[in-house]
Amino acid sequence: MRDSVLVLVIEDDAAIRALLRVALEPAGYRVIEAANATDALGAVQVQTPQVVLLDLGLPDRDGLDLIAPLRKAGAAVLVVSARDAVAQKVAALDRGADDYVTKPFDTDEVLARVRTALRHRASPDVLAATLRFDDIEIDFAARVVRKAGGEVHLAPKEFALLAELAANAGKVVTHAQLLRTIWGPGHETDVEYLRVAARGIRRKLEGESTAPSRIRNEPGVGYRLAVAIAG
């Protein structure tokens, strides 16, 4: 049961608010709504939503300006916006949004992203564990990756990239975030490093597999480890 999870929908379009409510409530979420930024900031002072679905085009303020205060209030922030420009996605993610869905959206996709955001809230220490998907096992403590039981030798930067994506499994992580974390400040624009490392991981872990790669490229934005999120 998810009846304790409170979702705040910040959206000035009443039809979209209704659409999201109709998707969320049968899935067990409680829903509150705000039609503008002022009401939204008021709402988080009184209630404590665990998840916020945030429209960017609001009548009184740019939704981007709300990401930091909403995160400070303890909520996961999922942007749901018609703005599909890469720069807007990067700006939202770099300000701390958990994820980004563009309109028109598929409600099942929104629900899946909400579950992913909640899972990351519940267990931020995912790096302490072992992650398994397909025939792959990542043992973070031992820094060992196995495929079908056999050890796969990743270069240190390849392992670091895989670990960072796994720690954010299901969520997109921006180029700048990955480069800053793995290569350090000053390398935020060296996107080619990421391309090379991602290629290496795919080759070693996925080889000749014809299935879509688990290491998804979101052009101009970042990378996502596309693995099923339980629960």
> Given the rule CB under 5 A, which residues bind Ca ion?
12, 55, 57
Furthest-apart CA atoms within the chain: distance in Å: 56
Q: What tokens does 74 get?
A: 């303890």
Work out the number of other CB atoms within 10 angstroms of the CB of residue 220.
13
Rounded least distance, CB 45 to Ca ion, Å: 22
| Residue with smaller CB distance to Ca ion, 32 or 169 | 32
Rounded least distance, CB 200 to Ca ion, Å: 41
Residue 111 has phi, psi (to 5 degrees) of -65, -40
Rounded least distance, CB 180 to Ca ion, Å: 31
How far is residue 134's CA from residue 139's CA, in Å, rounded to a whole number? 15
Rounded least distance, CB 193 to Ca ion, Å: 37
Rounded least distance, CB 69 to Ca ion, Å: 18
Residues in Cβ contact with 73 at an 8 Å cutoff, skipping those fewer than 6 apart: 44, 45, 48, 49
- Of 117, 94, 21, 89, which is closest to residue 34 (Cα–Cα)? 21
| Residue with smaller CB distance to Ca ion, 13 or 151 | 13
Give strand ranges (E) for the chain. Answer: 6-10, 30-34, 51-54, 76-81, 99-102, 130-133, 136-139, 144-147, 150-152, 172-174, 215-218, 222-225
Rounded least distance, CB 80 to Ca ion, Å: 10
Q: Which residues of 85-105 are buried (b: 16+ CB within 10 A; e: fewer)?
A: eeebbbbbbbbebbbbbeeeb
Rounded least distance, CB 197 to Ca ion, Å: 37
| Residue with smaller CB distance to Ca ion, 12 or 94 | 12
| Residue with smaller CB distance to Ca ion, 54 or 93 | 54
How far is residue 87's CA from residue 162's CA, in Å, rounded to a whole number? 24
